[in-house]
Amino acid sequence: MISPPKHRIIAQIVAQLGEERELLYRAARAAHFEATDEQSKAENKYDTRGLEASYLARGQAQKVKEVELAIEQFHALPSDTADPTSPVQLGSLVQLKSPKGKALYFVGPRAGGMEVEADEHEICVITPQSPLGQQLMGQKRGARLRLDLGGTRQEFEVAGVW
């Protein structure tokens, strides 16, 4: 299999994160507006609409910062193709083979679970902290893994590392 270039994968991830950041930013602005709007002013001691909106605005703003940090971290990853004998590490593209077929995973610093498409290949982002990521880190091509997925133990082979 010819793997898609990492720079395309990273660009797709960053693009999706950028869209997510924009949505979160708009939500944070809307919550901030609601929290500071005259109509949100408490009418009595039990009226907490404004307070709840301010908590929401703060949470949304924090999520925007987290997505911005993720974008920075993905931009900092090397986009060159690793030596095929290299072990799995942050920034690796990994192909796993199982009796059910093959799947591609990109080991990223954040955004675990995100799916992107590059050169007609569907790629799932995983982090080193995820159960799969923990087992993959440091493995090389040809390594065999046994994972519990959905209550079923499955065997995988590391078919490629780029």
Give me the pLDDT at residue 79, please. Answer: 78
pTM equals: 0.83
Split the chain (162 residues) into runs of 10 and give each run's mean pLDDT: 82 97 91 71 66 81 95 91 85 94 96 93 96 94 87 91 92
pLDDT at res. 156: 94
Q: Which helix (H) or strand (E) holds 64?
A: helix 49-76
Instruction: Note the pLDDT of residue 98.
Output: 92
**Would you state the pLDDT for residue 21?**
96
Cα distances (Å, whole numbers) of residue 26 to 13, 31, 40, 79, 98:
20, 9, 19, 31, 42
pLDDT of residue 113: 96
- As a whole number of angstroms, the distance between CA 89 and CA 147 comes to 19
